[in-house]
Amino acid sequence: MEATKSQLEDDLGISLDDPAPTVRDKFIILDTEGSGLFDYKRPSDDVGQPRLAELVMIYVDADLNVEREYQTYIRPDGWEMSPGATAINRLTTEFLMTNGIPMVDALAPYREAIGEGRVVVAHNAQHDLRHVRAELRRLGFDDMFEKTRNICTMRALTDICRIPPTGGRGGYKFPKLSEACVFFGFEELGDHTALADARACLQLFRKLRELGRVPEAKVHLAKTPKEAA
């Protein structure tokens, strides 16, 4: 016997006349530390480009509540930290050899998060995503570039912080993470570490939500030949 509409509604616990539920994005707040500086005119995975040394992801739900935090160091495999990078992030080759894990294991949660459709949020997302993209390629995996919707808090806050440019350039300068935190009266959350920076980025993302200024999450591809992917 065919079930009636009311029987189906009782079994499913919904009204069949209600509109389909809206899918709400979940996010990962991403921050990375590397072995040096990128040459943005060359492909991300070229020989001599910096390597990913630390990866942090803060998983947040659609209401920007923290679900969990993920932090890991990467064990060098034929590469070393540069003195300049160590001076900034205090990560040494010796520390990473002792405390790091293989790159393939470190990136497994990231691949899973993107596969689930989570949106990446980062302060200077172009830089952090470049680190991850390069390592995925080196491992022989899909770099997931064209599947990775992302939001850059640095770019989203440029016209809000309105920091004057240097060198006579027009427009406003991209705000550093510390400058954006100062603008909103936030205290920086600890020293310059990937975890502290990711937590600060989450505060800024929440402020963008509060102001109604969260940009649409998009896949951002290189615009010119000079912006090597």
Lowest mean pLDDT among 27-41, 102-116, 174-188: 174-188
Listed residue (144, 177, 142) closest to 163, CA to CA = 177
Q: Which 3 state secondary structure label does DSSP give 34?
A: strand
Q: Does the pLDDT at position 60 exceed 50?
A: yes
Q: Does the pLDDT at position 122 exceed 60?
A: yes
Return the pLDDT at 83.
96
Confidence of residue 171 (pLDDT cuts 50, 70, 90): confident
| DSSP codes of every residue in 41-79 | TS-TTSTTS--EEEEEEEEE-TT--EEEEEEEEB--SS-
Return the pLDDT at 78.
95
Kindly report the pTM of this predicted structure.
0.86
Listed residue (141, 150, 86) closest to 120, CA to CA = 150
* Cα angle value 152/155/160 (rounded, 5°): 125
Return the pLDDT at 157.
97
Q: Does the pLDDT at position 54 exceed 90?
A: yes
Q: Does the pLDDT at position 226 exceed 50?
A: no
Return the pLDDT at 28.
98
**169/136: higher pLDDT:** 136
- Crossing angle for the helix pair 103-115 and 125-138, to the nearest 10 degrees: 120
Confidence of residue 67 (pLDDT cuts 50, 70, 90): very high
User: What is the third-level CATH fold of 25-211?
Assistant: Nucleotidyltransferase; domain 5 (3.30.420)
Q: Each residue of 95-132: b (16+ CB within 10 Å) or e? A: ebeeebeebeebbebbbebbeeebbbbbbbbbbbbbbb
Listed residue (119, 183, 178, 184) closest to 152, CA to CA = 119
Domain residue extents for the chain: 25-211
Region 59-86 average pLDDT:
97
Listed residue (178, 144, 142) closest to 163, CA to CA = 178
Q: Does the pLDDT at position 168 exceed 90?
A: no
Q: Does the pLDDT at position 64 exceed 70?
A: yes
Per residue in 9-44, pLDDT (tens digit) is 565 555 555 555 556 999 999 999 999 999 989 999
Task: Give the chain's mean pLDDT.
Answer: 89
